[in-house]
Each structure stands twice: as C-alpha cells, then as structure tokens.
Amino acid sequence: MKAAFLTLGCKLNYAETSTYERGFRSAGWEIVDWREKADCYLVNTCTVTATSDSKSRNLVRKVHRINPSAEIIVTGCSAELRRSDFEALEGVSRVYGAAEKSRIVADLTGSSADSDVFAAYSSGERTRAFLKVQDGCNNFCRYCTVPYARGRSRNVPICECVRMAGEIAALGMKEIVLTGVNTGDFGRSTSESFLDLLKALNEVDGIERYRISSIEPNLLTEEIIDWIASGTKFQPHFHIPLQTGSDGLLNRMGRHYDTAFFLDRINYIRLRMERPGSPKVFFGIDVMVGLPGETEELFGRTVEFIRRLRPAFIHVFPYSRRPGTPAATMSGQVPEQEKARRVAVLEALCDELHREFVSANAGISEKVLFESRDKGGMMSGYTGNYIRITRPYDKSLVGELTDIIIDR
C-alpha cells in the first residue's frame, strides 16, 4: 500500500504530518510523493485565512484527479471548521477533526492507539525537529478561529515530551524547536508547568540546542527568562506575538497585555541575556495589519512602537476576516488594498531591522548548526541567535555545531 501526504499551514501541522508518516511506514506502508499515484492521500489543512481554506479544498480536488480510486483522508483546522464542505468533495473518504486526528493511523493501519493530545514531532531534517508539546487555546482573541479549530488548551505530559526528545536525539538531530498553539500555556491539562518542561528537556542527552517557536508575552515569565539566562541549552531566540502597537486595538481584540508590558518584557530579556561581546537576542514578532478599527494613525503607532522594540524580524500578515469571529462584524474594516500597502511598509522595516541586527552581531563568536542541503556548492545553517550563515559545502560539518565569527 502506498500513502502520500500534503500539508498546509504551521509547523504544528508539519510535525503532525511527519508523525502520521512514521506511523504508516511502521505499519508497512510505502510513503510516496503526493504527485505519484497512491492508494491513500492524507491532506492536513489550514484555516488561518480564506485563502488557506481554498487551497486546502483545491489540494483535495488535485489528488482526486491523480488517482480517482484512492482513499482521501482530510484533517487539520479547515477540516474541523468546515467538515461538511470537505465531506461533499468527490473522493473524500473520511474527515478527522481536532479531537479525532490521533485516531488516523489506528483507523487506517490498526497499529496505533489514540490519546487526548496527539503527540507529534517532525523528522524530515537531519539537524532539527519540531516537537509538539501543547495544542489548543483558551484565549479566544476576537479575530482568531484557533480555539474553534484546535479546541481548548491541553498538553502532552512532560514524561512523554522527554521520551519523544530522546527519540529525536536517537535519530541524530541536535536541535529541537518546541511548538504548540499556545506553547507557554503548557501544563493546563496535566497540572505541570512550562518551566518544569524546559528543565526536564534540558537534561536530555544528545540534544544540544532548544528554541521556543512562539510564546505569548504574558506567559514568558521573569522566572523562565532568569532560568534560560542562567546557562542552558535554550538559545537567545524568542518569537513573541505583538499583533499591533495600539493599546486600544490590543484591548478591542482581547489580547492579554499592553504595549508597556510588551516593551518591558523585551527589555528584561535583553538585560538578563545580553552582555558586551555576547550574541544579541533574536526577537521575532508577529504583527497583524488592517485589524478592524486600525486607522492610519494607529498603524503609525505600530510602526513607531516596532522601531522602539528593534526586533530582528517581523512576521507580517494582513488581517483576514474569519466568519464566526467577533472581529468579522466589527466596524472599521480596512480595505484589502490598504492592508497590502501596510504589509509592504512593515516588510521594508523588517529588512532594515534585520540588517541592523546582523550588523550589531558582527565580530561576535557563535556556533552554527549546518544543514545537509547542498545549494550550488554552498551550505547554510543558523547561529544560536538565528543568523543564517553560508559557506562552501563541507559534508563533515553537516549536523555539527561549528564555531564561527559572525561577519557584518
């Protein structure tokens, strides 16, 4: 039997798909490229925007054309929110929502048990893995469908996370990125804490570096920061969602902090983790432009606030009106053309700030974990503070932490 997998959306989806692949492979299935004729196609969908929903449906139609007799399984966030749409598509055999996805391998191969939280990690790279430690969210921000698509906040027990980290180490990977829907909310369903998870993972032999993929600013506590800064495997790299630099809009969207708190958290991390001659902390921030009520003046405040923050990277995306969310019916909807203009403004600012960040690290000693890809005789990897380094390909450096001096 041959199975093929297609994935849209976030790293969490990719970690889950990778886990499905391992389950099918261990049950004796052959994994093939989705462009080939397979007996079963699994489409892991995304619903973050209307475009994502459309792409998800189009992928189902595409694989059905490749092999009209194949079984098509659909899961993921779009499948949860729009089950009937997918069930109506020709060729779809079964649709698995958020609470059912852990049964997929068991139902199709009879070789695995389900659980309340689908434990998962990616294993497609030789150097790093994405480890899913948490799922769901209880925040119900007014623009977001995630709590409806992924369910309430719940997590994998620490012992299971440590077990999976050990499996990742056994595969020869040196770096793990912790991922989840609301990663810092870890422990809600097991009465454990996020800090206890970090401490336990820090002891896993074979894993030399950890990163936290995304964490809400109010969940990145001073206690966690102090522990990371004390000398651990966790890197000076944080991805923290801001969304907007307007306190009024933060409140309107149901966010749990204001700009003063956000700035204070960034400054505290820099205070605890940066020293003269040491690597600067990489901050990536999410910003959503065109939220309902975002006037030109409020957008200007966001730009000004980001300049004060000086992050190394801005992940910019336009607000997408999602049916069923409070924000979809709010007044002050921003035209799509204006959203696109604001995205362009922040992308230009991102380029400027990233160049400034790299320049600020020039001459500093760091370690790079080089990847296996050979692109035109060159290879690349990332420092602990997430600066991409490129050098001539050297097979002996693949998967090894290598000392370098960061160039300007």
Rounded-to-integer distance, Cα 76 and Cα 152, Å: 15
What's the pLDDT tens digit per position in 115-170? 667 889 998 777 899 999 999 999 999 999 999 999 999 999 999 999 999 999 99
Rounded-to-integer distance, Cα 58 and Cα 240, Å: 32
Is pLDDT at 112 greater than 60 in this prediction?
no
CA distances from 64 to 7, 42, 73, 91, 146 (A): 16, 11, 11, 6, 28
3-class SS string, the chain: CEEEEEECCCHHHHHHHHHHHHHHHHCCCEECCCCCCCCEEEEEECCCCHHHHHHHHHHHHHHHHHCCCCEEEEEEHHHHHCHHHHHCCCCEEEECCCCCHHHHHHHHHCCCCCCCCCCEECCCCCCEEEEECEECCCCCCCCCCHHHHHCCCEECCHHHHHHHHHHHHHCCCCEEEEECCCHHHCCCCCCCCHHHHHHHHCCCCCCCEEEECCCCHHHCCHHHHHHHHCCCCEEEEEEEEEECCCHHHHHHCCCCCCHHHHHHHHHHHHHHHCCCCCCCCEEEEEEEECCCCCCHHHHHHHHHHHHHHCCCEEEEEECCCCCCCHHHHCCCCCCHHHHHHHHHHHHHHHHHHHHHHHHHCCCCEEEEEECCCCECCEEEEEECCCCEEEEECCHHHCCCEEEEECCC
Is pLDDT at 304 greater than 70 in this prediction?
yes
Is pLDDT at 113 greater than 80 in this prediction?
no
Work out the average pLDDT over 84-92. Answer: 95
What's the pLDDT tens digit per position in 43-71? 999 998 888 999 999 999 999 999 999 99
How many CB atoms sit inside 10 A of residue 159's CB? 11
Is pLDDT at 114 greater than 80 in this prediction?
no
What's the pLDDT tens digit per position in 321-335? 998 999 999 999 999
pLDDT of residue 117: 74
Question: Tokens 């475009």 — which residue?
Answer: 51
Using 50, 70 and 90 to split pLDDT, how confident is the model at 234? very high
Q: Which of 34, 148, 127 is nearest to 80 (CA)?
A: 148
Q: Cα 277 from chain centroid? A: 30
Is pLDDT at 369 greater than 90 in this prediction?
yes
pTM over the 0.95 mark: no
Q: Are 33 and 4 in contact (CB under 8 A)?
A: yes
pLDDT of residue 205: 97
Rounded-to-integer distance, Cα 259 and Cα 270, Å: 17
Work out the average pLDDT over 250-263. Answer: 97
Is pLDDT at 40 greater than 60 in this prediction?
yes
Q: Are 198 and 224 in contact (CB under 8 A)?
A: yes
Question: What percent of the chain is predicted at pLDDT more than 90?
Answer: 88
